[in-house]
Chain A
């Protein structure tokens, strides 16, 4: 079975500071990993994905994520946070093969304070 853990319900960071939103996963076999962002009363927007290759992947709006196989983690990062980054962030995983859907974590609410 696949699962995702986002250990922090809420992350607060000052504008201009670096931010990290944590994610660990569990899946048999090779994973596909994703980050999505959700603004109030909206659907999810795709930010970035890890399929294979470089462990550091870059995505939309200056976000990046680092895949760490030994720690089964895929933390989302941004060097300098903006107030407009305040939103709900979801990490998701699916198995590389087979009829398995995307499984999401419970989400982390990011609040960037001016």
Chain B
């Protein structure tokens, strides 16, 4: 069974640009979570989608947004990139209790 897959693995963007990160959940999982892991800050919750709806949102500005598609895959968009957005972005999927994580997208803003 395929795990959670994220693309791209690495992404380099210039300050002010937009970044789009993608996530495919484990087959049958309807919930997708996005987390930001910046150096020294642990995992910060960004967004939670379930059955196509946004269920919860972390303490991030509106330029962080996303969506979940009918096949439960998800997209995270970050507009007007800032240097401090450089981080590992992790996607996780869940059916009931535990969440399973992808390998992450390393976003570097220069």
Contact = CB atoms under 8 A, between A and B. Distances in A.
B90 A43 contact: yes
Contact of B43 (A49, A100, A104): A104
A51 interface: yes
B102 A43 contact: yes
Interface in B35-51: 35, 41-43, 45, 48, 50
Mostly, the B contact residues are strand
A101 interface: yes
A77 B104 CA distance: 27
B103 A49 contact: no
A101 B56 contact: yes
B33 A51 contact: no
Nearest to B40: A106
B42 A42 contact: no
What bracket does the count of chain B residues touching chain A fall in?
20 to 34
A90 B101 CA distance: 13
A104 B41 CA distance: 11
Interface string A71-94: 000000000000000000010000
A49 B97 contact: yes
Given A90-B42, A90-B43, A107-B42, A102 B100 contact: no
B33 A42 contact: no
B56 A99 contact: yes
A42 B103 contact: yes
A51 B97 contact: yes
B33 A101 contact: yes
Given A43-B101, A44-B92, A49-B97, 16 more contacts: A32-B97, A34-B99, A42-B103, A42-B104, A43-B4, A43-B90, A43-B103, A46-B100, A90-B42, A99-B56, A101-B48, A102-B33, A102-B92, A104-B45, A105-B42, A106-B41
5 smallest CB-CB distances across A and B, nearest first, come from A106-B42, A43-B101, A104-B43, A44-B101, A99-B55
7 contacts: A42-B104, A44-B92, A44-B101, A46-B99, A49-B98, A99-B55, A102-B99
